[in-house]
Amino acid sequence: MIGGKGWIAVPGIRENADRTLEEQLLGLEFAIAEAAGKTVLDLGCAEGVIGREFARAGATRVLGVESLPGHLEVARLACAAETQMEFAQAYLQDWIPAHPDPEVFDLVLALGIIHKVYDPGEALRFACRSCRDLLLFRAPAHAWEGWVQAKHRAPGAPARLRVHVPTAMEEEGFALERKIAGARGEAVEYWRRR
């Protein structure tokens, strides 16, 4: 058993965590149902077990990007049987400028992540640029009428940055297809490229 506290509990590997996989999968079922034959990018993938559901449903490639090495240690064990899964350890604020012309994936998961970077709008637009078809977005529960504010202020910045998600998504060419209530007040939005 790996020590420390995780985000998603993974039975037999690290059970001490904030959330269960059942909670974190709420609202994702329609996307998982269309995963066969698709490629998937999971931004802020934590222990990789959300992406693993897409892999098990037939996704041909799943790339998870995650900042915490401890989460990725769990991910690599939990997803060892899914050989189409790959993980990269990076902070998105470094990953985004390093990929000005990013690989494009059929499905992009931006679940509980954009508020973790100094510029949530930049993270959301990167997710859009990386997405060929369906982008799944989950805002933190404190998001208000489409606004998502960064958890932290960038060093030297006068205020925390924020983004109005519906406006940014429409500007990037996506339409809201469905919105499903998830765990703990965190709804999942399905944005489809027009």
Ligand X SMILES: C[S@@+](CC[C@H](N)C(=O)[O-])C[C@H]1O[C@@H](n2cnc3c(N)ncnc32)[C@H](O)[C@@H]1O
Residue 91 within binding range of ligand X, rule CB under 6 A:
yes
The reply to whether 66 sits near ligand X by the rule CB under 6 A is yes
Q: How far is the CB of 117 from ligand X (least distance, A)?
A: 5
Residue 183 interacting with ligand X (CB under 6 A): no
In whole angstroms, how far apart are CA 37 and each of 32, 59, 129, 141? 11, 5, 20, 32
What is the per-residue DSSP string for 54-119?
HHHTT-SEEEEEES-HHHHHHHHHHTTT-TTEEEEE--HHHHHHH-SS---EEEEEEES-GGGSS-
Could you say which of 68, 77, 180, 183 contacts ligand X (CB under 6 A)? 68
10 binding ligand X? (CB under 6 A): no
Residue nearest to ligand X (CB): 44
Counting contacts by CB under 6 A, is residue 112 touching ligand X? yes
Options 30-38, 43-51, 128-136, 159-167: segment touching ligand X (CB under 6 A): 43-51
